A and B are shown apart, each in its own frame.
Chain A
């Protein structure tokens, strides 16, 4: 064992900043990270054992306790719940005799729930030993467990043929389907791969590349919308021994799966985008941070990188351009939504907990290992390739004046055609619903749990209480029909997650509670506000849902939601949005629940509260007061 650990450590130059990779290798080798291993790692990496455990205990896919031979990670995101998550969960438990969160006594089966795994268009889905199982039903869940008990290999548990496109590639072999429903300039198959690197970039100076991207007004497609050209420009001017391009492929916002599809079908564009960014900013290090949930793509993506290296599209003097040396490695995440935040992602790449950094300094100033670092979204980088190929003027013919180009929407929930829609910016909510074949719609969640819950039946899209003044979801337009609101930077900017709920859904109980659970689960815990408030607010919401709410409880929720805005990062600042946004747009649902005639309800029930002690001492509940 010692030799194996030694070998793993040496593979990563006994470098503590590579702890995530080291821990992955240990997990692969031993199934868990034992106390003995932790001691060995601590001694050689020169960090305390507590520090090693600090990193281990942060990530969902690391464990210091033995995991099972077959580990089922069932996704509990909202779209999964809409399509029978509870029944599938129950089926897994009944058939295996194991409760979720546990490993069977014989060590054969472990069941765990996990946050969004990027399969919203084909959920409920689970990851079993890194393989993805989509469209689960109770029957399929039982068959899987039966198969496991019969000693079948994971590959033998597959119940559907390989999916379309590269999902069927021998290195992928997965049942996932792409569900591309609408293509435009980005998802266009009519192009020559790596054409820009081979034929075009040498014609431009790095400054000219940046200028074209700036002119195109390309903005970050992860959701925040920072101008990409400006980011490249800042990065290119920062002094540093190395400069780093990171592609953020940690899409974790529930309801988003566009990067999955881009990486499956158009990863050449993503890698080429990184090469172009590197050329423009004179970067020499490239990293694609791949969320653990997409590990099934790892080999496939690495084969693409190998192809690029073999064809001088990576490495030294790329395509013969003197001094243009750049290579890309793939950093695997380990299960933490917060690592999609760029500075948390960088912390994670340095072997630490994925805790966002204070800004300033921004990553472009001091990022990975303190080098100037440009972090771009998968879609942004792919778009940049199209822009360089066809020019900023061409790009400007798509979209609206304030939001140029196209956006990939990940549409899921109650609709006939969930999947990826590449639309021009400026498309309205109504158009999206029509495209997706959604009927009887009650609400649309735009931008995932941290975004906005749009009430499509609403004539005026928000109430105008004073308490609402401080709460400004992206570009809230006054008195516009929600139906006509547009996906654009001036109205509703989004990373592209669109989740549709029909009229049969219980918005508060099914949707808002699920989103709050997500934020509670995924908070890094660093800020006092985000660590504590989402849970407290969820308890308050539960009180309201259970019929014990009073009017003041709604005001409390609004006021408390304000406190959380001082959190360090976007996750924290938006962690109350499911509640705030639903009060804003579905206030009547809250009003229906709260008691009108009382200003105080403590939800205290004497009989419940004394039952445990009574049964222990053996006495019956007597109501003294009666």
Chain B
């Protein structure tokens, strides 16, 4: 033990580690968390795409036809494919975490998590079918 150390029990010579800028790459669960948070970027992008759809419809039938052609280009198909994966990831994580954030009680008893998660998925299925039927009605 060296005699050079000058600190008292009240001022110990702590070692503190700085958090790396790359902390979210250190374990898979942190990476998964950051990917989950980044789904919001694709959610926002698709909201902008919806605005684009509305705008094209307002401009008239020709603009709508141009929109359909544009959406069929490989670039947009690939972009939509990637966005679809992220948006699905958002839906699944959102539904699965819901029972943690919101406790549903029925006559004082906490509903089991699977009931909350299950009703989320049921609502998802029903709403998706409804949207598909209304949008594709001939």
- Asked if A pairs with B, the answer is no
Query: Which residues of B line the A interface, CB within 8 A?
Result: none
Query: Which residues of A line the B interface, CB within 8 A?
Result: none
